[in-house]
Amino acid sequence: MNLEGKHVIVTGAGAGIGLGIAKACRNAGADVTGFDWKTEGRERLEATGARFEQVDVTDLDGFEAAIAGAHDRAGRLDGMVNNAGVTIKVPFLEITREQMETLWTVNQRSVLVGCQAAGRIMAKAGHGSIVNLSSVHARTTNPGHEGYAGTKAAIAAMTRAMAWSLGPEGVRVNSICPALTRTEIVDKAMEDPDNAARFRSWTADGEVTTVDEIGALAVFLLSDAASALNGSEVTADRGMSALLDVFDLRRN
């Protein structure tokens, strides 16, 4: 799982899972370019040794140009991690057109464009690995997540198709499907003992996945150690979706 000499782009890298992935890639020896539309995460990202660029993935033309620019500056592009995403939980009959568009643009269209832009560069070089962040909501979900779940299922489906589109060019495409992960927001919520106990009750080992653990999975998929994996979905939920009726938000 060595990424020495490789250049990796990570979107949504200023906080949460994206920051965890950027840090893990740096620890594995990669040159990392992190995109985020907020500047608040610049200092944290640069502290890992990664390069920060303010990029809004909803500006699809600008996003594509930023990928090309990062490639040109580094002289290569070996890995692309499409992590940027947004969660909107709202009762199904109340979700607005604006909320739908936000979900589709951030979670689905930007991933499609990111894969296409990076894929063209990687195909020309004859190698590369793309990792898309999907979610357990792609397969098992709850009321109120209809729009979100749909976009995450789209990511998983696109990943499978891209594996065959780009595989002949030497490019692998896989997805990670996390469940609840200890981002800054979740850590804050877990300061309440009741929340912490509830979150831990959802997993087989009583633990809640950390951003560093998701980062390690991303490094594996980006590395040559995962050469046999293409079009795969790695479910990182500590067994949550393996158990029928783990939790039901209608009963909260």
Tell me if residue 214 is catalytic: no
For 207, left (φ over 0), alpha (ψ -120 to 50), or beta? beta
Nearest C-alpha neighbor of 230 from the set 154, 175, 177, 157: 175
By the 8 A CB rule, do 72 and 117 touch? no
Catalytic site residue from 148, 199, 202, 220: 148
Q: How far apart are CA 117 and CA 73, in angstroms?
A: 16
Positions of E strands within the chain: 7-11, 31-36, 51-54, 79-82, 128-133, 171-178, 181-182, 209-210, 233-236
Name the residues annotated as catalytic: 148
